[in-house]
Amino acid sequence: VQNNGIDMIKKSNSAGIRSNFDWDSMESDGTLDWNNHNMKNIAEELKRQGLSLLPVMSGPSLDYCSAWNEMPKTKNQLEGWRKYIRYSAEILKEYGVTEYEIWNEPNLASFNLNEDGGDVYAELFRCSAEEIKAADPSAKVGGPAVTGINGYWGRDYFTDAMDTGMGNYADAVTL
């Protein structure tokens, strides 16, 4: 089924896909394992067909966080996140991935359980950018993919993230 979908993407003249690349699918019982990740077969087929993957790095490991939508922020959570990001970037560069997006819609409670502010996101972004660049210095890192940039909830979140350092590490802004 996946290959048929990728065949359709290729026929549509699209360059590739943007998809969640969840930490929880990569780590179990403290072990990072690409072989069990739900995106492995898709990444392989995209590469085979000459299509790109824009991974949205998200979905925290339940080894570190209490829910799939809890944004990592404690020292322990960020250490685990860094390991996941570096491990993933080392693998994904072999699949031709050169661009990354960090988290999805962090200004919404649906993707940010504790409704952490842009300052928390900026720290997560900094950690992510450092690890991705360590694995592949030419990679580009973007975020925060806020929803409602024209409304106060998106604009304020974006401003808070930028004011607390995200702009020092971002190669792109995703809205």
Q: How far is CA 118 from the centre of its chain?
A: 16
Helices (H), the chain: 2-11, 40-48, 75-92, 118-135, 152-163
pLDDT at site 62? 94
Residue 132: burial class (beta carbons within 10 Å; 0-12, 13-18, 19+): buried
pLDDT at 3: 65
The answer to whether residues 116 and 158 touch, using CB atoms and an 8 Å cutoff, is no
Q: What is the pLDDT of residues 22-61, one digit of tens each?
A: 999 999 899 999 998 989 999 999 999 999 999 999 999 9
Q: Which residues contact 166 (CB under 8 A, 6 or more apart)?
A: 118, 121, 122, 125, 126, 143, 144
**Overall average pLDDT of the 88-113 stretch:** 96
Looking at the predicted structure, is the pLDDT value of residue 114 above 90? yes
**Mean pLDDT, the chain, whole residue set:** 94
| pLDDT surpassing 80 at residue 156 | yes
Q: Which residues, at least 6 apart from 70, have a Cβ–Cβ distance to it below 8 Å?
A: 60, 113, 114
- Whether the pLDDT of residue 106 is over 90: the answer is yes
